[in-house]
């Protein structure tokens, strides 16, 4: 059987009908693109390989369970699974991003102070916890751009390519994310002062 001539959709149908060997062709066809997109986000070869494997395990489990319904959109579907796994990884790592405005100043004023007192350190750590909680409340599209830009240090062009949107859309999502974080921080300041 000449699998190279079959579309992704045909290969998925063959796989679902019991032709397990077609999975190799789907892997061969898309591995480079999926792996590269993961690697660009995590910048670590071994971690990228782990996430790539997890993504394909999820793909296989979804296909086998009969929950796949992205007809004709196999690659974007797998890319979405991979990106969600990357975002989950960054969430688990709980890395705190430093968000800078256009003029280079730290929007969130989370400056690392070398000689800080125990009280200042506790306050800074609480601010980081609050920030992570606020980031978690952002709409998924805004959260994704924020994480890719500040956790994974990607350019807006890379983010646009990976999320399949225009650069202007990626920039807009970032603007909204920062605006929403500022609003949440103001609400928190007000509620802290009143309590």
**Residues 58-106: pLDDT tens digits?**
998 888 888 888 766 888 888 888 888 888 887 777 554 444 444 454 4
pLDDT at residue 67, as a whole number: 84
0.75 exceeded by the pTM? no
**pLDDT at 47 > cutoff 50:** yes
The answer to whether the 1-97 and 117-194 domains have the same CATH topology is no
CB atoms within 10 A of CB 80: 15
* CATH level 2 (architecture), domain 1-97: Orthogonal Bundle (1.10)
Distance CA 113, CA 133 (A): 22
pLDDT of residue 128: 65
Residue 9, C-beta contacts closer than 8 angstroms, at least 6 positions apart: 71, 72, 74
What is the mean predicted confidence (pLDDT) over 28-34?
Answer: 87
Question: Crossing angle, helix 156-163 and helix 22-42, to 10 degrees?
Answer: 150
Query: What's the CATH fold of domain 117-194?
Result: Arc Repressor Mutant, subunit A (1.10.10)
Alpha-carbon Rg of the chain, whole angstroms?
Answer: 21
- State the pLDDT confidence band at 107, using cuts at 50, 70 and 90: very low
Sequence spans of domains, the chain: 1-97, 117-194
């Amino acid at each position: 059987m000449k699998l190279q001539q079959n579309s992704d959709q045909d290969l998925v149908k063959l796989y679902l009908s019991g032709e397990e060997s077609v999975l190799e062709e789907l892997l061969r066809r898309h591995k480079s693109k999926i792996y590269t997109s993961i690697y660009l986000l995590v910048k670590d070869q071994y971690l990228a390989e782990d996430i790539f494997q997890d993504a394909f395990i999820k793909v296989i489990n979804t296909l086998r369970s009969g929950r796949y319904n992205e007809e004709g959109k196999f690659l974007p579907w797998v890319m979405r699974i991979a990106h969600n796994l990357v975002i989950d990884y960054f969430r688990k790592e709980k890395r705190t991003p430093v968000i800078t405005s256009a003029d280079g100043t730290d929007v969130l004023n989370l400056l690392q102070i070398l000689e800080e007192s125990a009280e200042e350190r506790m306050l800074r750590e609480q601010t980081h916890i609050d920030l992570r909680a606020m980031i978690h409340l952002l709409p998924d599209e805004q959260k994704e751009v924020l994480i890719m830009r500040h956790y994974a240090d990607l350019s807006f062009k890379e983010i646009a390519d990976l999320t399949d949107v225009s650069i202007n859309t990626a920039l807009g999502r970032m603007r909204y994310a920062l605006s929403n974080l500022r609003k949440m921080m103001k609400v928190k300041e007000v509620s802290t002062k009143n309590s």
